A = this chain, B = another copy of it.
Amino acid sequence: MNGAQSLVKSLVASGIDTCFANPGTSEMHFVGALDSAPELRAVLCLFEGVATGAADGFARMTGRPAATLLHLGAGLANGASNLHNARRAGSAVVNVVGDHATYHQQYDAPLASDVAGIARPFSHWVHSGTSSKTIGGDAARAVQAAREAPGRIATLILPADTAWGEADVTAPALPVAPPAPVSAEAVALARELLTNGGKSAILMRGHAVLSAEGLELAGRIRRKTGAKLLCDTFAPRIERGAGVVAPERLPYFAEMLTDFLAELDSIVLVGAQPPVGFFAYPGKPSWCLPEHCRIHYLAQPHEDGASALAALADALGASEADERPALALPQAPEGKFNAFTLGQALARVLPEHAVLSDDGATSSGPVLAALASAPHHVHMALTGGSIGQGLPVAVGAAVAAPDRKVVCITGDGAGLYMPQALWTMAREQLDVVTIVFANREYKILSVEMMRVGAEQPGPKAKAMFDLNDPYVDWVSLANGFGVPAARAETIEEFSAQIEVAMAAKGPRLIEAVLL
């Protein structure tokens, strides 16, 4: 057994069954070891950001890590922006990054770089292997680190000689600590804040907290106390639709957020951070809670927020269920073709338990509104603000949950960061319907330009938002990657196309021209 085989078998022993890969020469022994581990599925990606984004999507669906396989520091760098998003999502990811053999690094060959230095800003755990005999154990430690609650980024650097050298054993899985329990004191304080007569809200984040079950508990608390239920604008994962208690989503823009929160006397955080502006704006506050608002961390992200909600509901005697949206499908939309009518058409055909990977920027709000009473579905937002994660996360979600329909909604600007994900959808015949909101501009930027109080934009500035000269032909692009596609310029065209796409299995793309 060589180090690579020990590594692969140790990953499998620790529960890794999927690897999103974009290997190079220094990872050839890892690639060679794949066939010795039938339990490990290897999914080829044409770009590293697709691999890391897919691992994020996989973790959001399963709660456990996939591996990535990346080629030295440069390959890791190509995957880094989606690791940033994954880190913000609290997703567990195990990166395996090849490097030059230990003794080769002294020569400063063209691909040499500071791999650990590149990994550090995006990783909670970084280790560079030193021996083929210990690389299996390193793999077990990487998985353990990644599984720390709520989910961490672990990066294991694999010098080529630790892959091809001799190894003896497969490392067994290491124990993984469950999420930390919250204290009775924290529950008691939350109870006090929700019952002291002031205006209060509960801001929630985390897979278990924002699951139907977690939200059901939150609904009981709302019913008992009148507290507002809130979730972040960009929750990593939330269940929603018919039958699921619906929290209010925080507004995106800082001044709307400040207004929205203005009357709160207290806010109870369950796995969430205090709400702040996504960006700073001249003369506007970054801190959006009112001065006097009391902040209480009922559960931090590494703690067991769902159990904390249960304990709080018990402490409050909150046993009665609150209102949940009933299933209500919209009438077939007619007339104007916009993100809301698009959402209505989608709501009519969305199968139960569908997964939405959302990188839709200015268009996703209206779609979510239109889906409020659609069948129960899972929504996964762009967590770290680095656009381009929607398609890769959809790849990972579809690999993780082959029985569910995955719908990727993405802006055309966002989708053009990593369109290579379409190829992996075609190759693996993933059941993903991609809807591109083709407004042919970086619409959010033309909005933000005004808001930041910058100059009245001149022609050169305006050109920086323009995606219309030339506009991207998404049908041609998708076909180039092997994905069947259609263009919709009216709501009627879209309605017909989405119905066909939902009824079929396999990847499809619809370019929704929303000018």
Q: Is the CB of A107 within 8 A of B276?
A: yes
Cβ of A416: which chain B residues have Cβ within 8 Å of it?
Answer: 46-47, 420, 423
Nearest CB in chain B: distance from A224 CB, A: 32
Cβ of A117: which chain B residues have Cβ within 8 Å of it?
Answer: 117, 120-121
Cβ of A479: which chain B residues have Cβ within 8 Å of it?
Answer: 473, 476, 480
Cβ of A448: which chain B residues have Cβ within 8 Å of it?
Answer: 25, 28
Cβ of A427: which chain B residues have Cβ within 8 Å of it?
Answer: 469-470
A273 touches B (CB below 8 Å) = yes
Question: For residues 73 through 113 of chain A, which have their beta carbon under 8 Å from a beta carbon of chain B?
Answer: 73-75, 77-78, 80-81, 84-85, 88, 100-101, 103-104, 107-111, 113
Q: With A384-B110, A384-B111 as given contacts, are A460 and B35 in contact (CB-CB < 8 Å)?
A: yes
- What does the 1/0 interface line of A1-33 toward B look like (CB < 8 Å)? 000100000000000000001011110110111
A356 vs B469: C-alpha distance in the bound complex, in angstroms? 26
A357 vs B503: C-alpha distance in the bound complex, in angstroms? 45
Q: With A280-B160, A280-B161, A472-B481 as given contacts, are A35 and B455 in contact (CB-CB < 8 Å)?
A: yes
Interface centre among A122, A445, A454 (most CB of B within 10 A): A454
A335 touches B (CB below 8 Å) = no
Q: Is the CB of B77 within 8 A of A464?
A: no
A427 vs B472: C-alpha distance in the bound complex, in angstroms? 11
A459 touches B (CB below 8 Å) = yes
Cβ of A330: which chain B residues have Cβ within 8 Å of it?
Answer: none
For A110, the closest partner residue in chain B by CB is B385
Partner of A472, one of B114, B161, B386, B480: B480
A500 vs B384: C-alpha distance in the bound complex, in angstroms? 46
Nearest CB in chain B: distance from A471 CB, A: 8
Partner of A77, one of B77, B466, B473: B77
For A471, the closest partner residue in chain B by CB is B482
A34 touches B (CB below 8 Å) = yes
A114 vs B111: C-alpha distance in the bound complex, in angstroms? 23
A475 vs B473: C-alpha distance in the bound complex, in angstroms? 12
A471 vs B49: C-alpha distance in the bound complex, in angstroms? 20
For A464, the closest partner residue in chain B by CB is B31
A36 vs B114: C-alpha distance in the bound complex, in angstroms? 39
A463 vs B35: C-alpha distance in the bound complex, in angstroms? 11
A246 vs B129: C-alpha distance in the bound complex, in angstroms? 43
- What does the 1/0 interface line of A428-447 toward B look like (CB < 8 Å)? 00000000000000001100
Q: Is the CB of A31 within 8 A of B449?
A: yes
A103 vs B282: C-alpha distance in the bound complex, in angstroms? 11
Q: Is the CB of B29 within 8 A of A452?
A: yes
Nearest CB in chain B: distance from A395 CB, A: 15
Q: Is the CB of B164 within 8 A of A118?
A: no
Cβ of A234: which chain B residues have Cβ within 8 Å of it?
Answer: 110
Q: Is the CB of A33 within 8 A of B455?
A: yes
A197 touches B (CB below 8 Å) = no
- What does the 1/0 interface line of A468-501 toward B look like (CB < 8 Å)? 0111111111111110000000000000000000
Nearest CB in chain B: distance from A360 CB, A: 16
- What does the 1/0 interface line of A108-141 toward B look like (CB < 8 Å)? 1111011001101110000000000000000000
Cβ of A24: which chain B residues have Cβ within 8 Å of it?
Answer: 445
For A474, the closest partner residue in chain B by CB is B480
A58 vs B240: C-alpha distance in the bound complex, in angstroms? 50
Q: B-contacting residues of A (Cβ < 8 Å)?
A: 4, 21, 23-26, 28-29, 31-36, 42, 44, 46-47, 49, 72-75, 77-78, 80-81, 84-85, 88, 100-101, 103-104, 107-111, 113-114, 117-118, 120-122, 160-161, 164, 234, 273, 276-280, 282, 286-287, 383-386, 388, 413, 416-417, 419-420, 423, 426-427, 444-445, 448-449, 452-455, 457-461, 463-464, 466-467, 469-482
- The contact sample of 21 A-B pairs, CB cut-off 8 A, is A4-B454, A26-B279, A31-B454, A31-B457, A32-B449, A34-B464, A42-B460, A46-B413, A77-B81, A78-B81, A104-B279, A104-B286, A107-B287, A109-B277, A109-B279, A160-B452, A423-B472, A427-B470, A474-B480, A476-B476, A477-B477
Closest 8 pairs between A and B when the two form their complex, measured CB to CB: A35-B458, A32-B454, A477-B480, A470-B482, A74-B386, A476-B480, A101-B280, A104-B280
Given A78-B388, A427-B470, A470-B481, 7 more A-B residue pairs with CB atoms under 8 Å apart are A23-B464, A78-B80, A109-B278, A160-B279, A164-B282, A416-B420, A476-B477
